[in-house]
A and B are shown apart, each in its own frame.
Chain A
Amino acid sequence: MLVLQALVNGLLLGGLYACIAVGFSLIWGVMNLINLAHGSFVLVGAYVTATLNQAFGLDPFVTIPVSGAALFIIGYVIQRGLINLVLARSVFATLIFTFGLNMLLVNLLLLVFTADVRGITVSYGGLGWQFGPVRVPYTRAAVFGVAVLLTAGLAIFTNCTRLGAAIKATSFDVDAARLVGIDVDHIYATTFAIGAAMAGMAGSLIAVVLAFSPVTGDSFTMKAFVVVVLGGLGSIPGALAAGIILGIVDDLSSVLLDPGYRDAISFGVLLLVLVVSPRGLFGKRFYAEIQA
Chain B
Amino acid sequence: MPKSRLEGGAALRRAVVVALFLATIAGGIVLDNYWLRSLTEVFLIAAIAQSINIIAGFTGYAAFGQVVFFGLGNYATAIAMTRLDMPFIAGALLGSVVCAGFALVCGWPLFRLKGHYFAIATLGLNGAVQAIVSNWASLTQGGAGISLPLPPGNVLGNARLFYAAFLALMWASVVVVWLLNRTRFGFACRAIRADEEAASAAGINPLLYKTSAWMVSAVLAGWVGSVYAYWQSYIEPSVAFDMDIAVRGFVILLLGGPGSVFGPVIAAFVFQLTSIVVWSYLLTFHLGLMGLLIMAAVLFLPEQSGWTNIRAALAARASAALPAFARR
Seen from chain A, the residues whose Cβ lies within 8 Å of a Cβ on chain B are: 32, 34, 82, 84-93, 95-97, 99-108, 110-111, 174, 184-185, 222, 225, 229, 258, 260-264, 266-268, 270-271, 274-275, 278, 290-292
Q: Is B254 an interface residue (CB 8 A)?
A: yes
Assembled-state Cα–Cα distance A87/B328 (Å) = 10
Q: A88-B328, A261-B132 are in contact. List 5 more A-B contacts (CB 8 A).
A: A96-B294, A99-B294, A103-B290, A274-B124, A275-B109
14 contacts between A and B (CB under 8 A): A85-B299, A85-B324, A99-B291, A100-B290, A100-B291, A103-B287, A106-B288, A174-B325, A225-B120, A258-B135, A270-B124, A274-B110, A274-B113, A292-B115
Contact with A267, one of B131, B254, B289 (Cβ below 8 angstroms): B131
Assembled-state Cα–Cα distance A235/B62 (Å) = 26
Assembled-state Cα–Cα distance A88/B303 (Å) = 12
Number of cross-chain contacts by CB at 8 Å: 148
Chain B residues near A270 (CB, 8 Å)? Answer: 120-121, 124
Interface of A is mostly: helix
Interface of B is mostly: helix
Q: Which 6 A-B pairs have the closest CB atoms?
A: A292-B115, A103-B291, A100-B294, A107-B288, A264-B131, A292-B114
**Chain B positions 73-132 with a Cβ under 8 Å from a chain A Cβ:** 109-110, 112-121, 123-125, 127-128, 130-132
CB pair A292 B124 closer than 8 Å = no
CB pair B116 A34 closer than 8 Å = yes
Q: Is B35 an interface residue (CB 8 A)?
A: no
Assembled-state Cα–Cα distance A97/B113 (Å) = 22
Assembled-state Cα–Cα distance A225/B119 (Å) = 12
- Cβ distance B70 to chain A, nearest Cβ, rounded Å: 17
Q: Is B56 an interface residue (CB 8 A)?
A: yes
Q: Is B284 an interface residue (CB 8 A)?
A: yes
**Chain B positions 41-85 with a Cβ under 8 Å from a chain A Cβ:** 56, 62, 64
Contact with B295, one of A104, A264, A274 (Cβ below 8 angstroms): A104
Q: Is B298 an interface residue (CB 8 A)?
A: yes
CB pair A278 B113 closer than 8 Å = yes
Contact with A95, one of B119, B124, B295 (Cβ below 8 angstroms): B119
- Cβ distance B65 to chain A, nearest Cβ, rounded Å: 10
Q: Is B292 an interface residue (CB 8 A)?
A: yes
Assembled-state Cα–Cα distance A105/B288 (Å) = 7
CB pair A275 B116 closer than 8 Å = no
Contact with B291, one of A107, A111, A260, A266 (Cβ below 8 angstroms): A107
CB pair A267 B124 closer than 8 Å = yes
- Cβ distance A184 to chain B, nearest Cβ, rounded Å: 7
CB pair A104 B291 closer than 8 Å = yes
Name which of A104, A110, A185 has the most chain B CB atoms within 10 A of its CB: A104
Assembled-state Cα–Cα distance A95/B132 (Å) = 25
Chain A residues near B64 (CB, 8 Å)? Answer: 92, 95
Chain A residues near B125 (CB, 8 Å)? Answer: 267, 271
Assembled-state Cα–Cα distance A48/B292 (Å) = 24
Assembled-state Cα–Cα distance A86/B327 (Å) = 10
Known interface pairs A34-B116, A274-B120; A92-B109 also in contact (CB < 8 Å): no
CB pair B291 A292 closer than 8 Å = no
Chain B residues near A108 (CB, 8 Å)? Answer: 288
Chain B residues near A110 (CB, 8 Å)? Answer: 284, 287
CB pair A89 B128 closer than 8 Å = no
CB pair A34 B120 closer than 8 Å = yes
Assembled-state Cα–Cα distance A274/B128 (Å) = 14
CB pair A99 B327 closer than 8 Å = no
CB pair A103 B299 closer than 8 Å = no
CB pair B285 A111 closer than 8 Å = yes
Assembled-state Cα–Cα distance A274/B122 (Å) = 11
CB pair B295 A90 closer than 8 Å = no
Instruction: Bits for B274-295, please: 1 = Cβ < 8 Å to A, else 0.
Output: 0000000000111111111111
- Cβ distance B191 to chain A, nearest Cβ, rounded Å: 17
Q: Is B273 an interface residue (CB 8 A)?
A: no
Name which of B247, B289, B295 has the most chain A CB atoms within 10 A of its CB: B295
CB pair B62 A91 closer than 8 Å = yes
Chain A residues near B142 (CB, 8 Å)? Answer: 260
- Cβ distance B112 to chain A, nearest Cβ, rounded Å: 7
Known interface pairs A103-B288, A111-B285, A267-B127; A292-B294 also in contact (CB < 8 Å): no
Q: Is B134 an interface residue (CB 8 A)?
A: yes
Name which of A92, A264, A271 has the most chain B CB atoms within 10 A of its CB: A92
Assembled-state Cα–Cα distance A171/B294 (Å) = 28
Assembled-state Cα–Cα distance A102/B327 (Å) = 25
Q: Is B39 an interface residue (CB 8 A)?
A: no
Q: Is B250 an interface residue (CB 8 A)?
A: yes
Assembled-state Cα–Cα distance A84/B324 (Å) = 9
CB pair B247 A96 closer than 8 Å = yes
Known interface pairs A89-B303, A101-B295; A290-B110 also in contact (CB < 8 Å): no
CB pair A263 B131 closer than 8 Å = yes
Which residue of chain B lies nearest to A108 when distances are taken between CB atoms in the complex? B288
Instruction: Bits for B166-187, please: 1 = Cβ < 8 Å to A, else 0.
Output: 0000000000000000000000
